[in-house]
Amino acid sequence: MNLVKSQVGFLQKSRQQEPQPSLPLIVFQISTLHLAVRIESVYKVAEYKPVHGSGINQFGVANVDEHQVTVLDLYGKIVDSNQTSESLPGEYLVIVGNSKDELYGIAVIDTPKLMEVPLSRIRVLPESYRRADTLGVASHVAVIPQQTETLTIFVLDVELLLPT
């Protein structure tokens, strides 16, 4: 009988210690929102480069390494459409690639972080929300309990960042 109890206890402990499947994300903050992109879509995180463009929309172009990168001002696109990237420079560019091998840069102020998010914490955003909100470029949301509050992270779909 003691052997059975000890084996059951061992199995319960080993199940608790098994790692949960997770998704590595590069997480950054735009205003009060926490946004992320999947690690496999990230080309690199670079120091902010000068962005050139007309200044009448949330797009510009920057020279990064040997590439011309289309830079998207997510702050202006999601939070304040009257704000231009020239008046809100970033410290970093999170450079992502889409399925057409185009590179897009997202200007961020604070250092992006790598987070392993358990798959059990990630949910698909409802299509109705995506059509109605400026965060329609997000496909999923991760809700992560923390010590004092819950962290909500919107996972961006890199295919939707720029209009086609």
**pLDDT value at position 11?**
53
Residue 90 domain-assigned (yes or no): yes
Under a CB-based contact definition with an 8 Å cutoff, are residues 12 and 130 in contact? no
Q: Is residue 5 part of a domain?
A: no
Residue 20, pLDDT score: 85
Structural domain of 138: 20-160
Higher pLDDT, 40 or 80: 40
Q: Is 156 domain-assigned?
A: yes
Q: Is residue 70 part of a domain?
A: yes
Q: Mean pLDDT in the chain?
A: 84
Residue 36 has pLDDT above 50, yes or no: yes
113-130 pLDDT, tens digit each: 999 999 999 999 998 888
Report if residue 15 sits inside a domain: no
Interatomic CA distance for residues 63 and 70, integer angstroms: 9
Give Cα separations from 40 to 31, 33, 63, 114, 121 (angstroms). 25, 22, 22, 12, 19
Tell me the per-residue pLDDT of 97-114, one tens digit each, with 9 for 90 and over. 999 989 999 999 999 999
Total number of domains in the chain: 1
- Contact between 97 and 158 (Cβ < 8 Å): yes
Is 11 contained in some domain? no
Distance CA 114, CA 154 (A): 14
Residue 102 · residue 84 · CB < 8 Å:
no
